Amino acid sequence: MTPAEWRRKAVHAGMGLIALSLRWLDWRVAAAAAAGALVFNVWVMPHIGRGIYRNRLARRDPGIVAYPAIVLLLILVFGQTDLPLVAAVWAMMAFGDPAAAIAGRTVGGPGLPWNAEKTWTGLLANWAVSGAASIGVFSFVVRRWPQPDTVLVLMIGAGLYAFLESVRSGLDDNVVAALPTALVLYALNAHWPPAVAAGPPSARGLAVALGANLLVALAMGALRIVSVSGAVAGAVAGFLILAAGGWSAYGLLWAFFLLGTLATRLGYRRKAAAGTAQPNEGRRGVANVAANCVVPAALLLLGLPSVAFVAAFGAALADTLGTEVGTLYGRRAFSPLTFQSLPPGTPGAVSWPGTAASLAGAAAIAAAGLLFGLVPPAVVWVAGLAAFLGAMSESWLNDFGRRAGFGLDHEFANALNTFIGAMVALRIAPA
């Protein structure tokens, strides 16, 4: 930790104390103040605050600009009804991030399996400090000590926030962690207490789930359909989904896997010759499984409505089909934001065949959700639409990032589209 970095972290945390003002401010005033801070950081900080820039030669510091931008976004999305939620997530941003950096760089420790640049020490410090800070700030804003279940929800949110900050994403940490955490807290508030989707599993049910997925993992590995790491990760994901969601949820997992695998194998030699094929002969590994299955499994374990589970897997398949079919049959690539023609393979570029395949993938998983009894007929359209929007969000973000100078990590982007699909489904599903 250099002296400049200590000053940066002090300013970062100090700005979090302003979250206490949400006890008195109307959301409109709070939004105006956040917008003013954003303007200040964009136009004034480059002249007076370069001492805390990570790159003093840069025109602007991305983290310093992203901080008030995310606070403003949280206020605009949740402020009309949930300013205490905004305050809690703001506290996580303000105090969790500095705690992780200070602990990780001064104490050290083993690196994380998914990001060797960050440590277990930093992750745990982030969770502990962001959880305590969110509880304290939330209590101050609502003018009372929260109930035990509220404390539990905030600690779950802090754990998610700490994990998301540790993920290699290609984006500033403030952007990656805050909004998804707020959306999860909002969803938990609307669907609390959680209950495992299929009810508490019995000992026999757990044994069946474990045995079935061990056999599947051995078969998949032996047939070389997936890599060894993919077989192990798939067994873990399958066990969780079968134990928490029952055979219907497990059937949807298999629908996604089979359709996605067929799409990957479709025209594989042509895609390999063009340099657009999946590596390792299309055999998925642990990173692929995690990117596509972590969010759906978490939705089941938290007991959120099954339409979100269907939409998450629908977004994963829509993204897979869009990529595989688009690279195979797409002759003309274009920007999904401006429709300007782009060279094939440009980050964020889409094609009409790929877009049609994405829509078909979203519809296929929504139909499978109906077939397996996971969504009623009146809600099928919600699952399909949310899945398609989740898949398209990756293209939109990548296209915007290409213009703004950032790029999403591939596996992070895959997980993000499942998350966005699930959150959209929860938002638009009829009560």
| Residue spans per domain, the chain | 3-190, 258-428
For residues 273 and 369, give the distance between their C-alpha atoms in angstroms, rounded to a whole number: 36
Model confidence at 211, pLDDT cuts 50, 70, 90, reads very high
Answer for the pair 65, 49: CB distance below 8 angstroms, yes or no: no
Tell me what pLDDT residue 89 has: 97
Tell me what pLDDT residue 137 has: 97
SS (H, E, C) 222-283: HCCCECHHHHHHHHHHHHHHHHHHHHHHHHHHHHHHHHHHHHHHCCHHHHHHHCCCCCHHHC
The alpha carbon torsion through 190, 156, 176, 346 (nearest 10 deg) reads: -80
In the predicted model, is pLDDT for residue 281 greater than 60? yes
Of 62-76, 140-154, 184-198, 369-383, least confident by mean pLDDT is 184-198
Model confidence at 372, pLDDT cuts 50, 70, 90, reads very high
pLDDT mean over 218-242: 89
Could you read off the pLDDT of 389-424 as tens digits, one per residue? 999 998 998 888 887 777 788 888 899 999 999 999
Tell me what pLDDT residue 282 has: 62
Q: What is the mean pLDDT of the chain?
A: 90
DSSP letter string over 271-316? HHHHT-SPTGGG-B-HHHHHHHHHHHHHHHHTT--HHHHHHHHHHH
Could you read off the pLDDT of 187-206 as tens digits, one per residue? 888 777 766 655 667 888 88
**135/187: higher pLDDT:** 135
CA 69, 74, 77, 79 dihedral sign is negative
